[in-house]
Structure 1
C-alpha cells in the first residue's frame, strides 16, 4: 500500500491546497477539576494563511499554550477535552484516529517548545535525535538520515555542524539548543510550525538571532508559522497578524500594524503600554515608572520620574574593587587542574544609597557570579567588597551572618527560591526568627506590613507558593528580602521570567520601595529596555569583565564599546513597519571564559569618555 493510500485509510484523506493552512473555529478546551469541566480556551477562532506568521499573544494563563497543544492533539483525553473545529489544509484534525494524527505531527505540523533542554533527551546525541525523526517519518536509511541531519544543522546556522553531530545537549548553549529544536522541527518540511514561547528564556542577542532565523527559514521553506508569546515587542518583529488572548478568549484580532497603531480592546492597550522601548528615556534623567493601564477600561495614569533618592555625597553603600572569581576545572584520575573558568575578572564599581546600578550582558558573562560573590554566596579569589564600611570578604561566619541583614538577594525564579511546604507568611517571617529580631505575634504583624508594602493582602500569609501567580511570587520574594531592612538588594534577573505586564508591575514596585526606603539596587539583567527604564547607571559585562560603565543616559545615548552596541542592536523594536528590515544580527556564540591553568589576564586600559562614563580599550 502506498503512503498516500495508507493515509486515506487512516482517515486523513488528501485535500486541495487552496484556502488557509490552519483554520481554527470555535475551539473550546476544558479540563476536569473536582468532577467538573472548566473551560480554559473559550471559543477561539482564527486562521493561518500560506507563508503567513500569526502571533497569539497574552499573559500566562490566558490559554495560548493550551490552544497550541489542542491543535497538536496533545491534551490528555483522561483529564481534558477539545471541542470545535481544527482544520489543516481543509482536513479536520479533531476526528481523525491516533495513527493518522501521529502522521500529522512532525510531518505536517511541527512544534518548538519554550525550554529546549526539557525537549531534548540528555543521554542521546543531538545528531541521533534529529536522525531518528528522519528515519521514522521520512523512511531514510541511517546513512541518509545522518547526511540530512548535518544539512539541517548547517541550515539553522550551527557552526562546525558535522563535528557537533555526536555532541550531547548539555554541550550546547541555550540559543544553540533552540536551533537544534528548530532543525528537528524542519526535518520533515512541515506546512505549519508552532513556536511556543521559543525566545522567552533567551538573552536579547540570542533572541534576535532565533527570530531572524525563523524569518529566514520561513522564506526558504515557504511554511506558515503560529508564534505564541507574551512579548509585544517580539510580535512586532515577526507577526503578519495578531490574536490577543485574555482569560481564554480572543479579545482582538487583526493585522499587527493595525493593532499597534490603534488597539481597540483595553487589554491590548495594557499589553502595549507595558512594552519597554529602548530610547524612550531620552532626555529623562531619573528612572521612570511604567504607565499603569486598567485592563477593563483602558484608562492609563501618567508616569512621572521617580524622586531623586541618590545620596552621592555620602560614602557608597557598596564598594567593589578588583573582584576576581574563578572556578577550577579538574580532570584525570588524580583530579589535576586542567583549566579555570574566569567568571569574574578584576571588576570594580561603587553603588550609593537610593541608586540602581545595572549589570547587563549575555548568559555566561559573569553577571550573576558577580552578585553572588558580593554576598559571599560564592567565595571570590581576590579583591574587596566593602558594604557599609566593612569588607565582606574578611568577615568570619558570625560577622558575615550579621552583615547579611544589610544585604539581600532576589533570585530569578521565585518558585524555586520559596519552600513549597512552607506558607508564605512563614517564609517571610523566617529571617526574623533566624536573627532573633521578633517574637511570634510581632513577626506576624511585620509580615502583614511587608505584604501590604508589596501590594498583597495580609490574609494571604497562610497560603502556599503554588497558590500564587509568578508575579505574586516575585512580590513575596521582595517582601522577604525587605524583612531585615537591608540597605543593598541584589536583584538577579528578578523580572526576566515574568510576563510583560507583570514585569512592569514589579519594576514599578521596586522603584516605589527605593523611593520610600532609599534602597541601593544592583540590578542584574539582560533586558536592555527594562534596564533603561529603571536604572541610574549601567555596567556592561563581557567574559567576566566590565567593558563599559557610566550614567544610563551616557551609555545608552553614546555607546562606545562594540559589545554594548551589539546588545543594543539586538533589542526588539515594537514597530511592525520595520518587520521586513534585515537586522544584520551576528550568529556568533559568546566566547568561552575557560582558560589554561597558567593563563595570566592582560592588563586592561580604560578611557573616560565623559564624567563617569568609562570604556575598556578593545582590539
Structure 2
C-alpha cells in the first residue's frame, strides 16, 4: 500500500489507514484448560490488516502464531479453549456471532490455507469434487456451474491441464501442486481476507518461490488482504508490508517490515534476524562460518568466526563413492511383474575427507536421502562401490558391517521419530555403547553424561524422556547418540530442516564446533541453500538421482553453471524488504518423475571442469527449452 495511505504504526501494531481495516484484532487472549485451570497461550495481541495489505505474524514454534490464526477463524475447540478480546471483520465482531453465522463467514469472507495440504484434503475424494463442494455450499451453484468454476480456479492457480486433472485424487499431486489446490479452494468464494498459516514451510525452495509469487499475484488480481504466518524471516521480507513479531504468546514488536529489518528494537527480533542465513554473505570466506547468536533478552551478540581448517585433504578420503546406483522396482499384477523402476540414485560418484563437509542439495525426490542411506547400506544399492576409511562396504558381511557402523553414523530429520518414546534419553545414548560392548553398564552413565555435556545439555537430563525436550534439544540428543561410537563419518539427513531459525543456528554451530574438535566428516543433506552456503566446504547438486554439478562451495555459489543449479539459487528468498517488489522469473514446472520403463537404459553423461574441482554435467535440449530461473 502506498505510503500516503499509512499515517503511523502504533505501539500495539495496529496500522491507522485512510480506509477502515479489513481485520482488526484488539487485545486477543486465548486460553486452554490445563489441569483444572485456564492457561493463556496468546496474551493481549492487537493488530490491523488494511485493504490489499499483507501483514506477517512471525515467531518460533510455541510463540502463539497459529493459535492467533485459529482464534480469528474461531476454530479453537470450545470444550477446552476460550477466546477473549475483539476480532472485527469489516466492523462485525466475530466473537459475538452464533456458530451458524460464523460458518457462513468461514470461506466466504475469510479463508485459510494450512501448512500441510495433505491433512486438509480428503484423500478419498477428487480435488475437483472438494473445490466444487465449497462452491455449491457457499455460493449456491449447480453441480455443472461449480465444476466449470473449479476448472477456472485451478487454471487461475497455474495448475497445468486443469480440466484433465479435475478428477484426480490428492496423492497424484506433488506437494506444491497440492498447496495450489488449497489456494484455489480458499479463493473459491472470493474472500476479503486470506489467512496463510505456514503455507511454504514444508516445500522445496523452488516450489516455495512459486507459491509466494502466486499469492502475491492473486492478491493483486483479487484485491485481497493477506495475513501470512511464518517463522522464516526471509519469507517475511519477500511478502509482507507490515510485520508483527510474536514471542511467548505476546506481540513484542510491530511495524513496517522495512523498519523492523533495518532497526529491530526488541532483542527477540534481533535474535531472529541474526539467525537468518543470507545467501551471498559468505563471499571472501573459504571455510564454514558459525552463526552469530543474539541473546533473546539482552540483545547482546557474539561475533561469528570462520571455523578452523580441519580438512585433511592430503590423506585418503574417509568416504569414496563410485558409480553408486540405487533403483526400486515397481510391480503390478497378480504375479508381481516389474512394470517400472524408480531410478532414485544414478551413477553417483564423490569423495569426502576428514574434517570436511560436503553438502548434497536438491529438491524432494531428487535422491539425496536415498544416496545417504545407500552409502550406509541402510538401503542396499544395485551397483557401485562405497569405501569408508579404506574398507569396501559392499564386500562386508553382516558381522563386519555391524562393526563398521561404529565409524559411520546418521542424524535424521525428525529427532522425535528417531528416539524411542518409552526409553530415557540416557538409555538411548548408552544403547549403541552397550550393543557394541565398548563400555560396561557401570561406566555407561559417565560416558552419557560426557556426551550430553559435549552437545550443550546437562548430565542430569539423562533420566528424562524425549517428550520432555524441545525440538532443538531432541536434535542435540540425536547428535550425542551419533557421537557415542566416535565415528569418523556422519550423514546429516535434513538434520536441521524441522527446527526454528534460532535453534537451527545453535545446532549448526554445535555441529561445526564438534567437527573442528573431532575432525568429523559430514555428508550434509539439505534443501536449504542458504544454510548450505554457510556450513559446507564443497557442494554437490542433485537432480533426478544424478549429480549435475559439484565443486568447492565458493566456486559453485559464485559461478553456478548448470541451469538447475541456477534455478535453485535464484529461488532462495532474499531477507531484504527493499527488494520485495522486484519481479523474479520463477518457472511453474514440477520436478520430473524418476520412474522409468523396466528396459530403460540411462544415457552416458559427460562432464566438464569449470574451474579447479568444479565439475558440471553437460546438459541436453531439455534444459535449453526453459529458463534456468
* Residues 239-271 of structure 1, C-alpha deviations (whole Å, 9 max, x = no match): 000000011111100000010111111111111
Give the structure 2 partner of residue 408 of structure 1. Answer: 409
* Paired residues, number: 603
Query: Partners of 2:173 and 2:62 in 1: how far apart?
Result: 31
The offset of 1:18, in angstroms, is 5.2
Query: Partners of 2:453 and 2:254 in 1: how far apart?
Result: 38
* Residues 68-109 of structure 1, C-alpha deviations (whole Å, 9 max, x = no match): 011010111111111100000110001111001101111111
Query: Partners of 1:387 and 1:537 in 2: how far apart?
Result: 18
Query: Partners of 1:211 and 1:393 in 2: how far apart?
Result: 45
Give the structure 2 partner of residue 128 of structure 1. Answer: 129
The offset of 1:126, in angstroms, is 1.0
CA RMSD in angstroms comes to: 0.9
Equivalence map 1:460-479=2 (5 Å) = 460-479=461-480
CA contact (8 A) 1:200 1:497 kept: no
Give the structure 2 partner of residue 492 of structure 1. Answer: 493
The offset of 1:166, in angstroms, is 1.2
Query: Does 2:50 correspond to 1:41?
Result: no
Give the structure 1 partner of residue 223 of structure 2. Answer: 222
The 3-state SS of whatever aligns with 2:43 is strand
Larger deviation: 83-92 or 428-437? 428-437
Q: Runs of 4+ in structure 1 displaced over 4 angstroms?
A: none
Give the structure 1 partner of residue 254 of structure 2. Answer: 253
* Residues 195-220 of structure 1, C-alpha deviations (whole Å, 9 max, x = no match): 01111111111110100000001011
* Residues 316-365 of structure 1, C-alpha deviations (whole Å, 9 max, x = no match): 00000000000111112221111111100000000000000000000111
The offset of 1:237, in angstroms, is 0.1
Query: Does 2:335 correspond to 1:334?
Result: yes
Give the structure 1 partner of residue 110 of structure 2. Answer: 109
Give the structure 2 partner of residue 565 of structure 1. Answer: 566
Query: Partners of 2:330 and 2:518 in 1: how far apart?
Result: 43
Give the structure 2 partner of residue 277 of structure 1. Answer: 278
The offset of 1:127, in angstroms, is 1.1
The 3-state SS of whatever aligns with 1:85 is strand
CA contact (8 A) 1:86 1:92 kept: yes
Structure 2, unaligned stretches of length 5 or more? 1-17, 621-629
Query: Does 2:424 correspond to 1:423?
Result: yes
Query: Partners of 2:484 and 2:592 in 1: how far apart?
Result: 40
Query: Partners of 2:369 and 2:133 in 1: how far apart?
Result: 37
CA contact (8 A) 2:19 2:50 kept: no
The offset of 1:470, in angstroms, is 1.0
The offset of 1:440, in angstroms, is 2.0
The 3-state SS of whatever aligns with 1:276 is coil
Give the structure 1 partner of residue 355 of structure 2. Answer: 354
The 3-state SS of whatever aligns with 2:32 is strand
Query: Partners of 2:173 and 2:379 in 1: how far apart?
Result: 25
Give the structure 1 partner of residue 10 of structure 2. Answer: none
* Residues 360-380 of structure 1, C-alpha deviations (whole Å, 9 max, x = no match): 000111000000000111110
Give the structure 2 partner of residue 576 of structure 1. Answer: 577
The 3-state SS of whatever aligns with 1:162 is helix
* Residues 428-451 of structure 1, C-alpha deviations (whole Å, 9 max, x = no match): 111112212222221111111111
* Residues 471-506 of structure 1, C-alpha deviations (whole Å, 9 max, x = no match): 111111111111111110000011111111111111
Equivalence map 1:148-167=2 (5 Å) = 148-167=149-168
Give the structure 2 partner of residue 376 of structure 1. Answer: 377
CA contact (8 A) 1:24 1:46 kept: yes
The offset of 1:394, in angstroms, is 1.9
Give the structure 2 partner of residue 433 of structure 1. Answer: 434
CA contact (8 A) 2:607 2:618 kept: yes
Structure 1, unaligned stretches of length 5 or more? 1-16
* Residues 134-183 of structure 1, C-alpha deviations (whole Å, 9 max, x = no match): 11111111111111111111111111111111111111111111111111
CA contact (8 A) 2:19 2:51 kept: no
Query: Partners of 1:51 and 1:506 in 2: how far apart?
Result: 39
* Residues 291-340 of structure 1, C-alpha deviations (whole Å, 9 max, x = no match): 01011111111111000000011110000000000011111222111111
Give the structure 2 partner of residue 8 of structure 1. Answer: none
Larger deviation: 50-59 or 117-126? 117-126
Query: Partners of 1:475 and 1:444 in 2: how far apart?
Result: 17
Give the structure 1 partner of residue 617 of structure 2. Answer: 616
Give the structure 2 partner of residue 9 of structure 1. Answer: none
Give the structure 1 partner of residue 608 of structure 2. Answer: 607
Query: Does 2:599 correspond to 1:598?
Result: yes
Give the structure 1 partner of residue 457 of structure 2. Answer: 456
Query: Partners of 1:319 and 1:602 in 2: how far apart?
Result: 23
The offset of 1:32, in angstroms, is 0.9
Query: Partners of 1:427 and 1:100 in 2: how far apart?
Result: 52
The offset of 1:453, in angstroms, is 0.8
Query: Partners of 1:502 and 1:170 in 2: how far apart?
Result: 32
Larger deviation: 236-245 or 157-166? 157-166
Query: Partners of 1:193 and 1:266 in 2: how far apart?
Result: 30
The 3-state SS of whatever aligns with 1:496 is coil
* Residues 591-618 of structure 1, C-alpha deviations (whole Å, 9 max, x = no match): 1111111111111111111111001001
CA contact (8 A) 1:18 1:89 kept: no
The 3-state SS of whatever aligns with 2:296 is coil
Query: Does 2:75 correspond to 1:74?
Result: yes
Query: Partners of 1:541 and 1:223 in 2: how far apart?
Result: 38
TM-score (normalised: structure 2): 0.95
Give the structure 2 partner of residue 62 of structure 1. Answer: 63
Query: Partners of 1:307 and 1:296 in 2: how far apart?
Result: 30
Query: Partners of 2:180 and 2:540 in 1: how far apart?
Result: 30
Query: Partners of 1:26 and 1:273 in 2: how far apart?
Result: 29
The 3-state SS of whatever aligns with 2:278 is coil
CA contact (8 A) 2:488 2:520 kept: yes
The offset of 1:232, in angstroms, is 0.4
Query: Partners of 2:465 and 2:194 in 1: how far apart?
Result: 38
Give the structure 2 partner of residue 10 of structure 1. Answer: none
Give the structure 2 partner of residue 545 of structure 1. Answer: 546
Give the structure 2 partner of residue 27 of structure 1. Answer: 28
